[in-house]
Amino acid sequence: MSKVTTTINDGVAIIALDDGKANALGSAMWAELNTGLDEAEAADAIVIITGREGMMSGGFDLKEMGDGPQDALELTSKGSKFARRLMAFPRPVIMAAPGHTIAMGAFLALACDYSMIKEGDFKVGLNETLIGMTMHNFGIEMGRYHLSKAYFNRCVINGEIFSSKGAMHAGFFDRVVPAEQWEMAIPMAGQMFKQANPAAFKGTKLRSRKEIFKILDQAIEDDLDPDKVHAM
């Protein structure tokens, strides 16, 4: 059963996650997400990533992470590479989070060009240190680059979990959308980004992120090296 559906219409690709539970990001989910991006890129479409009602993603599939140290490293790398791909995607990428957005789900929000979350009693944050995981290098650098400076320690080291509005102040989201406006907000976001000149958007996006790409690429490499991962 597919956990990701991709619908392309009028130049906008909606990539929706739904595994019926926490939208756990395991290898199968990453493969389907990359296929969705392939389809969007082939169609030269703006991308909107969303989830199911009440849930964007609870983060990595912890069951798969528990299969062994190497499995955990490889799964983490798949997530990092997908987030890196979002940051370099030639067309605008928007996250429309309909609910809880935790751990790797929150990193995907950071990787998008524009992120919004539905107003509600939802939790957002990077809980890695709360559940006994040392933050990977890629995650640290993503947080350093995207999050508000005053929130870096609170998010990355302390593992603080925020409400929707708190997450916007921290830098995870650009907008909190009132619940009654949610259904309209997603197509409106796609239309908003259609106003951008495609060539200029792509050129500026890649040029402005040239230095952070170097840092992230090195982080991805370091995170796959067991000696560097466990070095203190």
pLDDT tens digits, 189-231 = 999 999 999 999 999 999 999 999 999 999 999 999 877 655 5
- Full-model pTM: 0.96
Q: Give residue 1's pLDDT.
A: 78
Whether pLDDT at 102 is above 80:
yes
- What does the chain come to in residues? 232
Pick the closest to residue 105 from 7, 44, 186, 23 (CA basis): 23
Whether pLDDT at 91 is above 50:
yes
Q: Give residue 232's pLDDT.
A: 42
Cα 18–chain centre separation: 15
CB 97 within 8 A of CB 117: yes
Name the average pLDDT for the chain. 96
Residue ranges of domains in the chain, CATH in brackets: 4-193 (3.90.226.10)
Cα 142–chain centre separation: 10
Handedness of CA 108, 38, 13, 204 (dihedral sign): positive
H helix runs in 43-68, sequence order? 62-65
Q: Give residue 188's pLDDT.
A: 96
When pLDDT is averaged across residues 33-58 and rounded to a whole number, the result is 98
The one-character DSSP state at 136 is P
Round to whole Å and give the CA distance between 161 and 106: 11
Tens-digit pLDDT profile for residues 167-186: 999 999 999 999 999 999 99
55: confidence class by pLDDT, cuts 50, 70, 90: very high
